[in-house]
Amino acid sequence: MTQVSTPVRLPAAATDLLMASARGIAAASTAEEPREQYALAHLSALRAAAAVLACRGKPTGRRRPRSAWDLLTVMAPEFSEWAAFFAAGAAKRSAAEAGFGRVTPREAADLIRDAESFLELVCQQLGVVHQPGLYAMPKLRQTG
């Protein structure tokens, strides 16, 4: 069973997104095709970003961001470099999901590691203990 200890509570959506991100990284790690690995890893990073956004609320201002990565840059500027990195790979992920384009095994493995690193940083920022490698049933525990 997934554990989230509380003194501080995350929104349920954020907890669900963090768990989905961890499971997605596990799925990417065991997928056979590099395109599938790449798409799953990128989607896992997107879910981790969405968890941050679920905790930060809605942006102020008139202009609507075009993507979750744009919104992350506005709402959590400490993740701006990560947002730019993953935004740059969004088209490749879309192509991979559609079965087009070429993804090398190295690109897929690198993105899995990057998604894992990003998830770890997100968990630290949100006060959640992330235990890499426990993806089938990830154990997430909030720290106080």
Please give the model's pTM, rounded to 2 decimal places.
Answer: 0.83
pLDDT band at 1 (very low <50, low <70, confident <90, very high): very low
Does residue 1 sit within a domain? no
**Is residue 75 assigned to a domain?**
yes
Strand runs labelled E in the chain: 128-130, 140-142
What pLDDT score was predicted for residue 129? 79
Q: How many domains does the chain have?
A: 1
pLDDT (tens digit, 9 = 90+) per residue, 91-126?
999 999 888 889 999 999 999 999 999 999 999 999
Instruction: Find the mean pLDDT for residues 78-86.
Output: 98
Please indicate, yes or no, if residue 132 is contained in any of the structural domains: yes
Helices (H) and strands (E) in the chain, counts: 6, 2
In a domain, 51, yes or no: yes
Compute φ and ψ for 68, nearest 5 degrees: -60, -35
Query: Do the Cβ atoms of 48 and 21 come closer than 8 Å?
Result: yes
Read off the pLDDT band of 137 (50, 70, 90): very low
CATH code, domain carrying 16: 1.20.120
Exposed, middle or buried by CB within 10 Å (0-12, 13-18, 19+), for 60?
A: exposed
Tell the residue number behind the tokens 């192509």, with chain if given: 95
Residue 7 covered by a domain: no
Contact 35, 96 (CB under 8 A): yes
Domain that holds residue 85: 12-142
Residues 118 and 109: their CA atoms lie apart, in Å, by: 14
The answer to whether residue 2 sits within a structural domain is: no
Q: For residue 19, tell me if it sits in a domain.
A: yes
**The pLDDT value given to residue 136:** 41
| Residue 79 domain flag | yes
CA distance 13 to 25: 18
